[in-house]
Amino acid sequence: MLPTEITPPRFALEETEYSGKSVANCTTAHNAPTRRSGRDDKDTHKMAPQPAIKTSEMKMDTTSWLMLLILSVLWGGSFFFTEIALMDLPPFTLVLCRVTIASLILWWVVLLRHIPIPRDPKFWGAIAIMGAFNNLVPFSLIVWGQTHITSGLAAILNATTPLFTIVIAHIATDTEKLNLRKAIGVLIGFVGVVVIIGLPGSGDAGTSGNSPTDAPSSLAFLAPFAILLATFCYGCTGVFGKRFGGMNPILTAAGMTSASSLMLIPLAGFIDKPWELPIPSTDTIFAVLGIAALSTALAYILYFAILKRAGASNLLLVTFLIPVSAILLGVGFLGETLLPQHIAGMGVIGVGLAVIDGRVVARLSPAKTT
């Protein structure tokens, strides 16, 4: 999400180990060479940036694969934990607990690592936007959707995030345009979505008993579209968030979760009235701690560690693994079931993502002769 392509001058600090790409220098007006002293030339030579490692050269070793599998379980587990916590907590209250606890953990990491905290109001304004559209809105939509559909189906639909990101980047940027292969992959992926929610009988499939009244709702048919709207938000912030490429990503994550926490306090208070809710069960408390500490705070930290170690293209592989983790947890521990059309749709979405990724296509294509 954070490797930069669009970088406003306020945030274009320098090339970092997280971005993998050079960030535009704000001082282009002063690029004319000047000679002050031999010491200046020597210092400048010492501080010359090293060439960045190309993403295509970054390989997946055993440790990277293990980290990727753990991340898929953490993010797949978020759907599992949500399903449990919804037995006692309404959506906004659950999301508020998630981001608040996660923000406390992330700020502890920021302080522990002595990460400098910027004071630029524009930075914090952008953080507020990210908090709203990368946390508050999508988290709330997914949690509400899971009051009507199973955790496995929610995870499958959530796997469409890269499809929206690619389309939005094509529209909003000049540097990430669709090519034929990616366009075909996006079309295949959206065909998978149609297979899941567009076939006869899909409206009753994957329903969950976690709605507040435990009764069918007239809005239940909107649940899959709520998940898709959440992935659209992720796609938008995936493009918008690239302006933070020069900032420490843990600081950015801490800021986002804090901003969304502040926004959720009045929403949860006005809509859910959490003070009137009964004391949650032990299972719910552990589920909230799990989704906050493991599926949010730890997952953010692990995500950026893999991004630094293996690169963004290899990190995309986690998209294939998250639905598998969520389905195994839902079927194994929650007794959920999925219709054949859901499994088929997941397979079609997976094919689309594989086409976008390109590596499988490259291996299957005949080698070019020179």
* 150-190 tens-digit pLDDT: 999 999 999 999 999 999 999 998 888 889 999 999 999 99
Specify burial of residue 369 (Cβ count, 10 A radius: 0-12, 13-18, 19+). Answer: exposed
Q: How far is CA 178 from CA 164, 172, 174, 240, in A?
A: 12, 12, 10, 18
Q: What is the pTM of this model?
A: 0.80
257 within some domain? yes
- Across residues 60-82, what is the average pLDDT? 94
Which residues have a Cβ under 8 Å from the Cβ of 262 and sit 6 or more positions away? Answer: none
Residue 311: HSE in the Cβ half-sphere, 13 Å Cα cutoff: 15
339 within some domain? yes
Residue-level pLDDT at 208: 56
25 within some domain? no
Contact of 240 with 7, CB cutoff 8 Å: no
Higher local confidence (pLDDT), 30 or 365: 365
pLDDT, tens only, 264-293: 999 999 999 999 999 999 999 999 999 999
305 within some domain? yes
- In order, the DSSP letters of 282-324 are HHHHHHHHIIIIIIIIIHHHHHHHHHHHH-HHHHTTHHHHHHH
334 within some domain? yes
- Helix or strand or coil: residue 207? strand
138 within some domain? yes
Q: Is 260 left (phi over 0), alpha (psi -120 to 50) or beta?
A: alpha
pLDDT, tens only, 196-214: 887 544 455 455 555 444 5
115 within some domain? yes
Residue-level pLDDT at 215: 53
- Give the residue numbers spanning the domain of 316: 61-363
- Helix or strand or coil: residue 149? strand
Q: What percent of the chain has pLDDT over 70?
A: 78
Specify burial of residue 326 (Cβ count, 10 A radius: 0-12, 13-18, 19+). Answer: buried
Provide the domain count of the chain. Answer: 1
15 within some domain? no
